[in-house]
Amino acid sequence: MHTLLTVLEEEILIARLVDGDKDAFVSLFESYKDKVYNTSLGILRNARDAEDITQEVFVEIFLSIQHFKGKSKLSTWIYRITISKALDHIRRNKRRKRFAFITSLFGEKGELVTDPPDFIHLGVTVENQELSAILFNAISKLPQSQKIAFTLCKTEDLSYEETADVMNISVSAVESLMFRAKQNLRISLADYYKELD
């Protein structure tokens, strides 16, 4: 299992990447592929799209590493590229799928369909899949900035400081986003928990 790199390892790796060392790129990919994929999956809620974005991110890294200035950590830069690619994908799909979305609101007999298909995150145990689907559905309804902050903090286990660095906002802004995200999730999930009583 690959872990994130130390500062010294990062510096050596970046120098090798800038020199065009293909083995260094393989090492980078092995170290960060899961983080990129999981972040993409948390935002997009679609495994195939997350795989596509993961590929796009590493192509971007390969093409852009010469311009990496080292002003932020390498992991921060990679998270920023991932979020940017995921949000671009959402914008493209919104334009392309607007009509498809409208037609998907209606079933085969023309009746209104109110619930989208459930999303199951890979790695969720079978006994937790129902709860996972309900939670991810609630997360998907959060405003975009809240969804990104929540994904980075809770799915990727980044600190508020690291999340602030990735999102290029203040720590207090992250705290505010997380507070509002948790409030919104409590409201969204309240009906589910009432059913359990």
Q: Over the stretch 70-99, which tens digit does the pLDDT of each residue have?
A: 888 899 999 999 999 999 998 887 766 554
Residues 142, 148: Cα–Cα separation, whole Å:
9
Residues 83, 86: Cα–Cα separation, whole Å:
5
Under a CB-based contact definition with an 8 Å cutoff, are residues 62 and 27 in contact?
no
Under a CB-based contact definition with an 8 Å cutoff, are residues 50 and 40 in contact?
yes
Residue spans of the domains in the chain: they are 1-114, 119-197
Please state the pTM of the whole predicted model. 0.72
1-114 belongs to which CATH class?
Answer: mainly alpha
**CATH architecture classification, 119-197:** Orthogonal Bundle (1.10)
Residues 95, 97: Cα–Cα separation, whole Å:
6
Name the pLDDT band for 119 (thresholds 50, 70, 90): very low
